[in-house]
Amino acid sequence: MGFISYLTIVFVVFVLILGIRNYQKVSKWMNYVLINIITSAIFIYIINLIVEGDILPINSVVLITSSVLGVPGLLGVVGIKFLII
Closest Cα to residue 79, out of 34, 47, 35? 47
| Domains in the chain, number | 1
pLDDT digits (tens, 9 = 90+) for 63-72: 888 888 888 8
What domain range includes position 71?
A: 3-84
Chain centroid to CA 3: how far? 16
| Angle at the Cα of 15 from the Cα atoms of 31 and 9, rounded to 5 degrees | 115
Q: Is the pTM of this model over 0.75?
A: no
Q: Does 34 have pLDDT greater than 70? A: yes
